[in-house]
Amino acid sequence: MTVPLDPELPDSELGSESGLAPDRCSGVLVLAAGVGLMAWSCTLRLGSFAVPGPGAFPLLLSAILTLLGTVLFAQQTRLGFSWDALFLLLRKKSVLIAVILGVFLFYTFTFYELGFIVVNTVALSVILIFIQRANIVTSLLYAVVLSVLSDIVFNELLGLRLPMGIFQNLGIG
**Per-residue pLDDT in tens (0 to 9) along the chain, 173 residues:** 444 444 444 544 444 444 444 555 677 788 888 898 888 888 888 888 888 888 888 888 889 888 888 888 887 777 766 677 767 777 777 888 788 888 888 888 888 889 899 999 999 999 999 888 889 999 999 999 999 999 999 888 888 888 888 887 665 55
Q: Is 91 helix (H, G, I), strand (E, B) or coil?
A: helix
pLDDT score of 14: 46
Residues 6+ apart with CB under 8 A from 157: none
Distance CA 33, CA 61 (A): 11
Q: Are 22 and 86 in contact (CB under 8 A)?
A: no
The interaxial angle of helices 56-79 and 26-41, nearest 10 deg, is 160
Angle of CA points 124, 127, 129, to nearest 5°: 105
Q: What is the pTM of this model?
A: 0.55
CA-based nearest residue to 32, from 58, 61, 70: 70
The total of other beta-carbon atoms located within 10 Å of residue 83's CB is 11
